[in-house]
């Protein structure tokens, strides 16, 4: 299969690493014209060049409304329309509750929730003009179960899942489908990324950390194997492609069964 997104134009935020990068590769391989956004200019440009198929990189910090708007405008200016928006950018935002300050909350809201809301807001006009579209928001199993993330991250991801359902209801009449994905325990650099910092490790350093992470994640899910970024990219492909045409307001959990496990209170 290599044409499930033929003729489609996709914008993927946080496309410079992990789930976003793997989704960009898969979407392009399935025939889509893809724009990836993120803060890491060198990485983003190198990845866009490596993917080829006309893939473009646009520098954007999703905590900034202007950058979000400009990314959508850039996509439409380059490719003439926007069919698919994957609001994927994110990272750790929290701190223990007794250390949390207004700055953690402001940054967390901007990175994880405002980015999704404003991305949706700016995608609506080009999608309406195009007769419809598909918005996918990367949430988390942290939105569904305790002890999958710190309280701030979990609460904001719960907001992402809820916003996806609510905006799906509002936009259904315009043939715009809105869904979320809730990944769990996916081996990506998010596990060693710090709040607000771009991943500046070398490829070798990332690979070393990844090998260690893969082992521990496999031991934490009923399937007893590691979840990879491609597992989430495949879920995004299903939602974005014609196979997902009757699916909206849905939260697609991809977690190797992790949310069905019982966790003892710590």
Going along 139-263, which residue ranges are E strands? 176-183, 251-254
How many whole angstroms separate alpha carbon 103 and alpha carbon 155?
A: 16
The answer to whether 153 is a known catalytic residue is yes
Residue choice 8, 25, 33, 39 for contact with ligand NAP (CB under 6 A) = 39
The interface mask with ligand NAP, positions 117-156, x = CB under 6 A, is ---------------------x-x----------------
| Minimum CB–partner distance for residue 175 and ligand NAP (Å) | 26
- 16 scored as a contact of ligand NAP (CB under 6 A): yes
DSSP 113: I
| Minimum CB–partner distance for residue 105 and ligand NAP (Å) | 15
| Minimum CB–partner distance for residue 129 and ligand NAP (Å) | 26
61 vs 65, which CB is nearer to ligand NAP?
61
Q: How far is CA 45 from the centre of its chain?
A: 19
146 vs 174, which CB is nearer to ligand NAP?
146
Q: Which of 57, 107, 122, 153 is catalytic?
A: 153
Residue choice 183, 228, 239, 252 for contact with ligand NAP (CB under 6 A) = 183
Q: What is the DSSP annotation of 129-161?
A: HTT-EEEEEE--GGGTSTTSS-HHHHHHHHHHH
Classified as helix, coil or strand, 85 is: strand
* 186, β-bridge pairs: 227
How many whole angstroms separate alpha carbon 85 and alpha carbon 69?
A: 12
Classified as helix, coil or strand, 252 is: strand
- 185 scored as a contact of ligand NAP (CB under 6 A): yes
Instruction: Write down the residue that tokens 């993330």 correspond to.
Output: 149
Q: Which residues are catalytic?
A: 153
Using CB under 6 A, list all residues that contact ligand NAP: 14, 16-20, 38-40, 60-63, 88-91, 111, 138, 140, 183-186, 188-190, 193, 198-199
């Amino acid at each position: 299969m290599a044409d499930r997104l033929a003729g489609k134009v996709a914008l993927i935020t946080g496309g410079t690493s992990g789930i976003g990068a793997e989704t960009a590769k898969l979407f392009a391989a399935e025939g889509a014209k893809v724009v990836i956004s993120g803060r890491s200019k060198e990485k983003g440009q190198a990845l866009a060049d490596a993917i080829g198929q006309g893939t473009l990189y646009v520098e954007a910090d999703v905590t900034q409304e202007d950058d979000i708007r400009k990314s959508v405008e850039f996509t439409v200016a380059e490719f003439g329309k926007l069919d698919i928006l994957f609001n994927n950018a994110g990272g750790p935002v929290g701190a223990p509750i007794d250390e949390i300050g207004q700055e953690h909350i402001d940054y967390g809201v901007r990175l994880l929730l405002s980015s999704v809301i404003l991305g949706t807001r700016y995608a609506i006009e080009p999608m309406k003009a195009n007769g419809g579209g598909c918005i996918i928001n990367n949430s988390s199993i942290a939105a569904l179960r305790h002890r999958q993330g710190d309280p701030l991250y979990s609460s904001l991801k719960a907001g992402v899942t809820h916003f996806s359902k609510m905006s799906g209801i509002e936009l259904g009449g315009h043939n715009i489908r809105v869904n979320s994905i809730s990944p769990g325990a996916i081996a990506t650099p998010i596990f060693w990324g710090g709040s607000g910092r771009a991943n500046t490790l070398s490829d070798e350093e990332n690979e070393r950390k990844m090998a260690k992470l893969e082992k521990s994640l496999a031991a934490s899910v009923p399937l007893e194997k590691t979840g990879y970024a491609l597992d989430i990219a495949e879920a995004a492909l299903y939602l974005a492609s014609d196979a997902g045409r009757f699916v909206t307001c849905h939260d697609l959990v991809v977690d190797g069964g992790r949310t069905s496990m019982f966790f003892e209170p710590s």
